Amino acid sequence: MGRKRRLSWAVLVDGRSIWTRNACPKVSQYGESLRRFQGVEHRRWDPTRSKLGAALARARHTQYDLLPDEGSTCLYLGAGHGTSLSHIHDQVCGTDNQLAGRIIAVDLSPRCLRDLIHMAKIRPGLVPILGDARKFSTWGVMVSTKVDWLFQDVSQAGQAEIFIDAANRFLKPGGKGLLSLKAASERWSGEGERVVFEGVAQQLLDAGFTIEEQINLHGLEDNHCLFYITN
Amino acid sequence: MWLWYDWRAAAVADDRGNILDIDEWSGWGDLDRLCARLDMVSHQAITPEVEVLLSRFPDAQVRIHGDPDLPDADWPLPSIEALQCLDKAAILISKRGVDAAAGDPDRRLEHILRASDELRAAYITIEGRLVEWVGLFLPEARFEQDRAGLAASVVDSNNLEELAQVLEIGMPERGPTDMEWDSLADWATSVCEIKNRLETMEEVVRELGANHLPSLSALLGPILASRLCVEAHGRARLARLPAGTMQILGAEKAFFNHLKTGAPPPKHGHIFMHPWVSRSPRWIRGKISRMLAAKATIAVRCDEFGGQLWDEEAIAVIADKVEFIREEYPYPPQR
């Protein structure tokens, strides 16, 4: 047993591993291990499969701030199969959405949405939307209020521009925004990923955001960097 | 003056953000009507509330909720109950979108084509084993003439002797035990079964391909047309490819090797499977595949963008052209 500490009401760090309080007891969402801590079931957050998990593992001084508050409204662009999303749901909504949180998850692929819709059935508070993260006009109407927390993981060219637009459009003043940047998706200048990351950091600063921390996910998720910003 | 609206309400405010008028829609309790409403707004159509307010304030500028032009104001945002209905409707709309994906011929074609490819790979391995297996016991047997009929003959025979009679050859001294022969016959049964299944499957590919890509199928045959479509990840993307890409689709390894090391570029990808290319002499295959790829891009564009479908006549013109190229270069180029 390692040294345990809590990042939030639902998230627990035990030595090197991260665990979240399972909102759907006995259900393992993507084959992660389940374990009881003081009688409450937790799911292991695999940092090699979730960029947000990797960021939590790698963050130096913002570990306690990265996650959304319980009961807040969140927007997740590029939800994929819902690996990170299920842990966010544990934190924001809890069992049967007792905390009255709202997570809007947008993804382009019908295949991924199939899994997300299935997940939404057992995890109320989760709203999967089939749509292109770049085209706000087609799904923006379903995000009726501004959000407290914005996460983007879309792996396509122009990630920073999409993120800046999305943050301006959907993020509440004082909200938190997280951009998971895949260097290989941007135009490759031949000077390496560090140059790409620096360019994006400058873009974010120019757009008027404050970069709280730039977390390099090297080793857990290669060629990726996670920017944590506030507006 | 600004006219703000979202899926549930519309409001007019002046430039300082003082609300002048509000019109709200109360029908959001009905899930189907709400879905229809969301669909309308997401297609940039204006709602009845907007029309009502626009008739009262004709010079107001219409902006959807969240638009950066709008001034800060106390817009009539939805209540918690309305938001819960919105969430339900959003999930329903996503579900419908996912259901609609089953109607996408690109995805259906991909599954059936890949499945038949996998089945064919399996067929080749187990059929090869059958021929070797029988050949071990009957060294005199030759299967060059009737390789396909071997599985059926094995299934029909009760033992090795009967099979030897069917194949009209002598019996060797050593044969398999009864149990061993049963396993061999079982193996032959599965060869037959897989063959039948494969034929049915390829028939389905032909049918789907011919429906989805009529002109391209007329030019290249439905299976090759489907293969190109799957390789390009859908008809919409295939129709937007340049002819040069169409020509080497399926030869990515050789092509990137060419870019990397300067090796000679590939002359053909999947398009090589067409007899006009594969049955032509080596030195004109590049010319024919280049011409054929150019024609294929036109054909698939006719399919995708609703052009006139290609008939026999159009194909005959291209066949003449192939013949012309063949006649023009009867001999390999001199070194």
For B99, the closest chain A residue by CA position comes to: A110
Q: What is the value of ipTM here, to two decimals?
A: 0.87
Q: Among A113, A144, A145, whose Cβ lies nearest the Cβ of B97?
A: A113
With an 8 Å Cβ cutoff, are A144 and B77 in contact?
yes
Handedness of CA B10, B41, A157, A30 (dihedral sign): positive
With an 8 Å Cβ cutoff, are A141 and B7 in contact?
yes
The answer, yes or no, to whether residue A189 has pLDDT greater than 90, is no
pLDDT in tens, A191-208: 788 888 999 999 999 999
Handedness of CA B249, B252, B257, B260 (dihedral sign): positive
What are the start-end ranges of the H helices in chain A?
A: 51-58, 83-92, 110-122, 136-139, 159-170, 193-206
Tokens representing B154 are 């094995």
A101 to chain B, closest Cα gap in Å: 11
The answer, yes or no, to whether residue A1 has pLDDT greater than 60, is no
The answer, yes or no, to whether residue B55 has pLDDT greater than 60, is yes
Q: Specify whether the CB–CB gap between B151 and B187 falls below 8 A.
A: no
pTM score, two decimals?
Answer: 0.80
Q: Among A102, A136, A144, whose Cβ lies nearest the Cβ of B6?
A: A144
Give the relative orientation of helices B80-101 and A110-122 as an angle to the nearest 10 degrees. Answer: 140
* Positions of E strands within B186-284: none
pLDDT at B73: 84
Using DSSP bridges, classify how beta strands A73-77 and A102-107 pair: parallel, antiparallel or unpaired. Answer: parallel
pLDDT band at A2 (very low <50, low <70, confident <90, very high): low
Q: Specify whether the CB–CB gap between A138 and B42 falls below 8 A.
A: yes
Percent of chain B with pLDDT over 70: 100
The answer, yes or no, to whether residue B172 has pLDDT greater than 80, is yes
Tokens representing B165 are 């009679």
Q: How many residue contacts between A and B have a Cβ separation below 8 Å? A: 70
Q: Indicate left, alpha or beta for B77 from its phi (over 0: left) and psi (-120 to 50: alpha).
A: beta
Q: Indicate left, alpha or beta for B74 from its phi (over 0: left) and psi (-120 to 50: alpha).
A: beta
When mean pLDDT is compared across B153-157, B184-188, B321-325, the lowest value belongs to B153-157
Please count the other Cβ atoms lying within 10 Å of the Cβ belonging to residue B222.
Answer: 22
For A171, the closest chain B residue by CA position comes to: B66
Average pLDDT, chain A: 90
Encoded amino acid at A67, one letter: L
Per-range mean pLDDT, top range of B36-45, B100-109, B192-201 = B192-201
pLDDT in tens, A95-113: 998 999 999 999 999 999 9
For B95, the closest chain A residue by CA position comes to: A117
Partners of A143 on chain B (C-beta within 8 Å) are 66
Q: Among A117, A145, A170, whose Cβ lies nearest the Cβ of B95?
A: A117
With an 8 Å Cβ cutoff, are A142 and B101 in contact?
no
Which positions in chain B have a beta carbon within 8 angstroms of at least one beta carbon in chain A? Answer: 6-8, 38, 41-42, 44, 64-66, 68, 77-78, 82-83, 86-87, 89-91, 93-95, 97-98, 100-101
Q: Which of A85, A144, A172 to mutate to test the interface with B (most CBs of B within 10 A)?
A: A144
Burial B258-297 (b: 16+ CB within 10 A, else e): eeeeeeeebbbbbbbbbebbeebeeebbbbbbbbbbebbb
H helix and E strand count, chain A: 6, 12
The answer, yes or no, to whether residue A19 has pLDDT greater than 70, is yes
Q: Specify whether the CB–CB gap between B131 and B125 falls below 8 A.
A: no
Burial A192-203 (b: 16+ CB within 10 A, else e): ebeebbeebbee
SS3 state at B263: coil
CA dihedral B311, B315, B317, B320 (to 10 degrees): -150
With an 8 Å Cβ cutoff, are B83 and A169 in contact?
no
For chain B, domain boundaries: 2-101, 105-207, 213-328
With an 8 Å Cβ cutoff, are A169 and B66 in contact?
yes
With an 8 Å Cβ cutoff, are B97 and A138 in contact?
no
SS3 state at A157: coil
* Average of per-residue pLDDT across B1-23: 89
Q: Which CATH superfamily is domain B213-328 in?
A: Nop domain (1.10.246.90)
What's the CA gap between B82 and A156, in Å, rounded?
34
Q: Among B6, B82, B98, whose Cβ lies nearest the Cβ of A130?
A: B98
Partners of B66 on chain A (C-beta within 8 Å) are 136, 140, 143, 169-170
With an 8 Å Cβ cutoff, are B7 and A130 in contact?
no
Q: Specify whether the CB–CB gap between B63 and B1 falls below 8 A.
A: no
Using DSSP bridges, classify how beta strands A34-37 and A17-21 pair: parallel, antiparallel or unpaired. Answer: unpaired
The architecture (CATH level 2) of B105-207 comes to: Orthogonal Bundle (1.10)
Please count the other Cβ atoms lying within 10 Å of the Cβ belonging to residue B115.
Answer: 15
Q: Specify whether the CB–CB gap between B39 and B92 falls below 8 A.
A: no
Encoded amino acid at B229, one letter: C
Which positions in chain A have a beta carbon within 8 angstroms of at least one beta carbon in chain B? Answer: 102, 104, 110-111, 113-114, 116-117, 120, 127-130, 136-145, 168-170
Tokens representing A206 are 């120019």
pLDDT at A185: 86
pLDDT at B42: 87
pLDDT at B27: 87
Nearest to A185 by CA among A153, A227, A215: A153
The answer, yes or no, to whether residue B188 has pLDDT greater than 60, is yes
Please count the other Cβ atoms lying within 10 Å of the Cβ belonging to residue A45.
Answer: 25
The answer, yes or no, to whether residue A188 has pLDDT greater than 80, is no
Q: Among A113, A138, A139, whose Cβ lies nearest the Cβ of B98?
A: A113
The answer, yes or no, to whether residue A57 has pLDDT greater than 80, is yes
* Average of per-residue pLDDT across B27-54: 90
Q: Among B6, B44, B90, whose Cβ lies nearest the Cβ of A129?
A: B90
Q: Which of B40, B94, B111 to mutate to test the interface with A (most CBs of A within 10 A)?
A: B94
The phi, psi pair for B275, rounded to 5°, reads -60, -30
The phi, psi pair for B238, rounded to 5°, reads -60, -40
Nearest to B283 by CA among B250, B328, B220: B328
Tokens representing A134 are 């770049």
DSSP B64-113: ETT-TTSPP----PPPHHHHHHHHHHHHHHHHHHHHHHTT-HHHHHHHHH
For A145, the closest chain B residue by CA position comes to: B77
Sheet holding A73-77, edge to edge: A126-130, A102-107, A73-77, A147-152, A171-182, A224-230, A210-216
Tokens representing A160 are 């920073």
pLDDT band at A47 (very low <50, low <70, confident <90, very high): very high
pLDDT in tens, B100-152: 888 889 999 999 999 999 999 999 999 999 999 998 888 888 887 778 888 98
Q: Which CATH superfamily is domain A47-230 in?
A: Vaccinia Virus protein VP39 (3.40.50.150)
* Average of per-residue pLDDT across A17-31: 91
Average pLDDT, chain B: 91
pLDDT at B26: 87
pLDDT in tens, A151-186: 999 988 889 999 999 999 999 999 999 999 998 888
